[in-house]
C-alpha cells in the first residue's frame, strides 16, 4: 500500500488526510466559517507602529489586525517593488531571505496610515492575528514565482544533479526578465512547454494583482489562493501518490477537469468514493483524529506518551506503562524510549505542534543508549518539512525541540478551553468545596445572629454534606445556634454555592 490522499467534502467543512502505507501522516482542514487565509495577498494600511518591538500592525480587512516584523519588510519598497522568499523545499531558501541594505528601524520605514501590499505567511493562532510579509510569492503547479528576484532555484527533493541542471537550463530560457522562480518537486521529468505554460500563467496572475492594487483602496483583498482541495492537488498530488479519493461528486468532477488540463496522465488515479461508510471511517482516519486529540497515546509495546500543552511550550512525558521487557531494566527502558521517539515525531507532525517542545524520556544510565534515542528522534523527524532544532538528551533525560509553527495545531483548531474548569484541566474536589462552605458559615455566625442558614450547592456537594460530612454540619449547627438547610441545585457549577442567612 503506497501513498493515498483522501478528500472529504461537506457543506460546512473540507478535510484532507494523507496516508502512507495506511498510516495517516498529515491532516488538513478548512471550515466554511473559518477560512484558511495563508497565501492571500492584500492591500493593507499600517494601523500602528511599535518601535519597542520593531514591528507593526497592518489592517488588511480581517477581524484581527495582521502582525509584521521589521524582517518581513522590504526597505523603501513601493507596492509594486516586492521581494519574496522561496518555498521550504528549496535548498537555497536561506540565500533568498532578503538582506536588509541598512539597519534602519521600523519607525523610519513605516508610518501609520501608509498603504502597502502584504501576503499572509502564517494564519491566526489562538488569540494572535495573522502574520504578514511584503516578500510575496505565487505558487503554481510546477513553479513558485518570485517578482523582482533574480534567482532560479530547484527543490532539494529533486536529488539527481543532471535533472536539476536540466530544469535550471529550461528556466533560464523561459523565465521573464527580472523575475525569480523555484522549481517545485513535481516538476521532475516535465517538459519545457509545461514549465513555460506555468511561467505565463503566473505572470498573468501577477499582473492581475498589480491591476487590482491600483484600482482598490486599502484594506482590500487582491488575491486569494485556491481552495483546500485544489491546493492539495496542486501541491501534493504527484507521481508518488497511488490514489486520490474524493467523496463529493461535484468536487471529484472539478478536480478531474483541473488535473486533465495540467497532468492528464494522472487522472486515472483519481477515484470517486460512493460507499455508505464515510471515507474517513473506511480509511481509519477518524480513529486517528480521535487518537491525536487524546492526552494519552499508547505505544504498541504497552508504554505510553502523555502530551500536555502549556502557554509557553508543549511537554511530552514518556512512560513504560505495561511494558516490562524481557532482559535487564536498561534494555527495557531503551526499547521503550526508541519506540517513543518515533511516536513523538509522528504526533508532532500529525498534530501540528510548534514552538518549544520538551520530551521527558525515561532516564538511561548509559551514554551510548542516550545517543541511540537522540539519533532515532532525529531520523524520525528527517522528513518533517517544518524547520526543527533538536538538542541532545540532558543528564535528566530531557530533549528540547524547537519546531516551526506551520499552522494552528490540531488541538486548538478542533477544540477550545473547557468552560467548566476554565481551561485549568481540573476542578476543586467536592470535599474542598464543602470545607469552604463550613468556613463561610463560621464567618456568617461571627458577624451576627441568625436562626437559619440555607445552603444551595451542586448536587454532588449537597450529597456529601448530607452524608459523609453530616456530622460536621451538625457540629456547626450547635456552634452557631442555627439550623442549616442543604438544598441541591443542578444549575450551579461544582465549585459554586449560595449561602443565605435568615
pLDDT (tens digit per residue) in 200-250: 888 888 888 989 888 888 899 898 888 888 888 887 887 788 999 999 999
Tell the residue number behind the cell numbers 438544598, with chain if given: 487
Whether residue 439 sits in one domain with residue 407: no
> How would you label 41-52 residue by residue, b for 16+ Cβ within 10 Å and e otherwise?
bbbbbbeebeee
Task: Give domain status of residue 424, yes or no.
Answer: no
Question: Counting Cβ atoms within 10 Å, is residue 394 exposed (0-12), middle (13-18) or buried (19+)?
Answer: exposed
Mean pLDDT confidence for 121-130: 78
Q: Which of 367, 255, 341 is nearest to 9 (CA)?
A: 255
The count of domains in the chain is 4
Q: Choose the final residue of a domain: 414, 442, 464.
A: 414
First-to-last C-alpha distance (Å) of the chain: 74
* Strands (E) located in 87-229: 115-122, 131-133, 138-139, 143-146, 152-154, 180-183, 220-223
Task: Give domain status of residue 290, yes or no.
Answer: no
Residue 341: which residues within 8 A CB-CB, separation 6 or more? Answer: 361, 373, 376, 377, 380
Whether residue 277 sits in one domain with residue 197: no
pLDDT at 93 over 50: no
Whether residue 178 sits in one domain with residue 76: yes
Contact 151, 99 (CB under 8 A): no
Q: Choose the final residue of a domain: 247, 264, 285.
A: 285
CATH number at residue 478: 3.40.1260.20
pLDDT at 86: 36
Mean pLDDT confidence for 142-160: 83
pLDDT at 466: 92
Whether residue 86 sits in one domain with residue 215: yes
pLDDT in tens, 346-397: 999 989 898 999 999 998 888 899 999 999 999 999 888 888 999 999 888 8
Task: Give domain status of residue 422, yes or no.
Answer: no
Whether residue 234 sits in one domain with residue 218: no
Task: Give domain status of residue 334, yes or no.
Answer: yes
Cβ count near 228 (within 10 Å): 20
pLDDT in tens, 17-69: 999 888 898 888 888 766 778 888 999 999 999 998 888 999 998 888 999 98
pLDDT in tens, 461-500: 999 999 999 999 999 888 888 899 999 999 999 999 999 8
Task: Give domain status of residue 425, yes or no.
Answer: no
Mean pLDDT confidence for 453-459: 93
Q: Which of 46, 56, 116 is nearest to 83 (CA)?
A: 116
User: Cell numbers at residue 185, please?
Assistant: 518537486
Calculate the alpha carbon distances from 453 to 320, 438, 441, 468, 484 in Å.
Answer: 52, 11, 8, 19, 5
Q: Choose the final residue of a domain: 243, 264, 285.
A: 285
Whether residue 75 sits in one domain with residue 136: yes
Whether residue 202 sits in one domain with residue 56: yes
pLDDT in tens, 4-22: 999 999 888 899 999 988 8
Give the residue numbers spanning the domain of 51: 41-224
Question: Cα–Cα distance between 266 and 243 in angstroms, integer?
Answer: 9
Residue 165: which residues within 8 A CB-CB, separation 6 or more? Answer: none
Give the model's confidence band at 414: pLDDT under 50 very low, under 70 low, under 90 confident, else very high. Answer: confident
Residue 85: which residues within 8 A CB-CB, separation 6 or more? Answer: 93, 96, 97, 98, 133, 135, 137, 146
Whether residue 253 sits in one domain with residue 211: no
Q: In the sheet that 152-154 helps form, which strands lie side by side, from edge to edge?
A: 138-139, 143-146, 180-183, 152-154
Whether residue 271 sits in one domain with residue 361: no
Bridge partner residues of 34 (DSSP)? 31
Cα 236–Cα 242–Cα 243 angle in degrees, nearest 5: 80
pLDDT in tens, 181-192: 898 888 888 888
How many alpha carbons lie under 13 Å from residue 190 in its C-beta half-sphere? 27
Task: Give domain status of residue 254, yes or no.
Answer: yes
CATH number at residue 29: 3.30.420.60
Question: Cα–Cα distance between 426 and 199 in angstroms, integer?
Answer: 56
Question: Cα–Cα distance between 364 and 251 in angstroms, integer?
Answer: 52
Contact 408, 468 (CB under 8 A): no
Task: Give domain status of residue 420, yes or no.
Answer: no
Question: Cα–Cα distance between 285 and 295 in angstroms, integer?
Answer: 18
Amino acid at each position: 500500500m503506497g501513498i493515498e490522499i483522501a478528500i472529504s467534502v461537506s457543506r460546512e467543512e473540507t478535510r484532507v488526510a494523507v496516508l502512507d502505507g495506511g498510516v495517516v501522516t498529515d491532516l488538513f482542514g478548512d471550515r466554511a466559517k473559518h477560512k484558511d487565509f495563508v497565501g492571500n495577498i492584500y492591500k493593507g494600511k499600517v494601523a500602528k507602529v511599535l518601535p519597542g518591538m520593531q514591528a507593526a500592525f497592518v489592517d488588511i480587512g480581517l477581524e484581527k489586525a495582521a502582525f509584521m516584523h521589521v524582517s518581513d519588510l522590504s526597505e523603501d519598497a513601493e507596492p509594486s517593488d516586492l521581494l519574496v522568499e522561496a518555498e521550504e523545499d528549496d535548498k537555497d531558501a536561506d540565500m533568498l531571505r532578503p538582506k536588509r541594505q541598512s539597519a534602519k528601524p521600523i519607525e523610519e520605514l513605516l508610518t501609520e496610515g501608509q498603504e502597502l501590499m502584504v501576503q499572509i505567511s502564517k494564519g491566526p493562532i489562538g488569540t494572535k492575528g495573522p502574520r504578514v510579509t511584503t516578500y510575496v510569492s505565487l505558487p503554481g503547479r510546477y513553479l513558485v514565482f518570485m517578482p523582482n528576484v533574480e534567482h532560479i532555484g530547484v527543490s532539494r527533493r529533486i536529488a539527481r544533479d543532471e535533472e536539476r541542471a536540466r530544469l535550471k537550463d529550461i528556466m533560464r530560457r523561459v523565465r521573464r526578465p527580472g523575475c525569480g522562480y523555484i522549481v517545485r518537486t513535481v516538476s521532475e521529468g516535465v517538459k519545457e512547454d509545461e514549465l513555460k505554460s506555468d511561467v505565463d500563467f503566473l505572470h498573468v496572475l501577477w499582473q492581475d494583482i498589480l491591476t487590482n492594487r491600483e484600482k482598490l483602496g486599502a484594506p482590500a483583498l487582491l488575491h486569494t489562493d485556491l481552495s483546500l482541495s485544489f491546493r492539495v492537488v496542486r501541491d501534493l498530488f504527484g507521481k508518488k501518490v497511488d490514489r486520490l479519493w474524493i467523496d463529493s461528486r461535484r468536487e471529484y468532477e472539478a478536480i478531474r477537469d483541473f488535473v486533465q488540463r495540467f497532468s492528464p496522465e494522472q487522472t486515472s488515479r483519481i477515484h470517486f468514493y460512493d460507499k455508505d461508510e464515510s471515507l474517513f471511517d473506511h480509511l481509519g482516519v477518524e480513529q486517528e483524529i480521535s487518537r491525536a486529540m487524546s492526552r494519552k497515546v499508547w505505544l504498541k509495546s504497552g508504554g505510553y506518551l502523555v502530551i500536555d500543552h502549556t502557554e509557553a511550550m508543549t511537554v511530552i512525558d514518556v512512560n513504560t506503562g505495561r511494558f516490562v521487557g524481557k532482559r535487564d531494566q536498561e534494555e527495557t527502558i531503551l526499547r521503550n524510549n526508541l519506540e517513543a521517539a518515533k511516536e513523538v515525531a509522528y504526533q508532532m507532525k500529525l498534530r501540528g505542534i510548534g514552538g518549544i517542545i520538551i520530551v521527558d524520556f525515561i532516564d538511561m544510565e548509559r551514554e551510548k543508549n542516550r545517543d541511540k534515542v537522540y539519533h532515532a528522534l532525529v531520523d524520525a523527524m528527517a522528513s518533517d518539512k517544518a524547520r526543527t532544532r533538536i538538542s541532545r538528551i540532558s543528564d535528566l533525560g530531557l530533549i528540547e525541540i524547537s519546531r516551526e509553527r506551520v499552522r494552528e495545531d490540531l488541538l486548538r483548531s478542533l477544540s477550545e478551553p473547557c468552560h467548566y474548569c476554565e481551561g485549568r484541566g481540573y476542578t476543586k474536589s467536592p470535599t474542598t468545596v464543602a470545607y469552604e462552605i463550613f468556613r463561610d458559615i463560621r464567618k456568617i455566625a461571627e458577624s451576627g445572629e441568625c436562626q437559619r442558614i440555607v445552603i444551595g450547592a451542586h448536587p454532588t456537594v449537597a450529597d456529601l454534606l448530607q452524608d459523609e460530612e453530616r456530622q460536621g454540619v451538625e457540629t456547626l449547627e450547635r456552634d452557631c445556634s442555627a439550623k442549616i438547610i442543604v438544598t441541591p441545585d443542578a444549575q450551579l457549577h461544582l465549585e459554586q454555592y449560595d449561602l443565605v442567612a435568615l
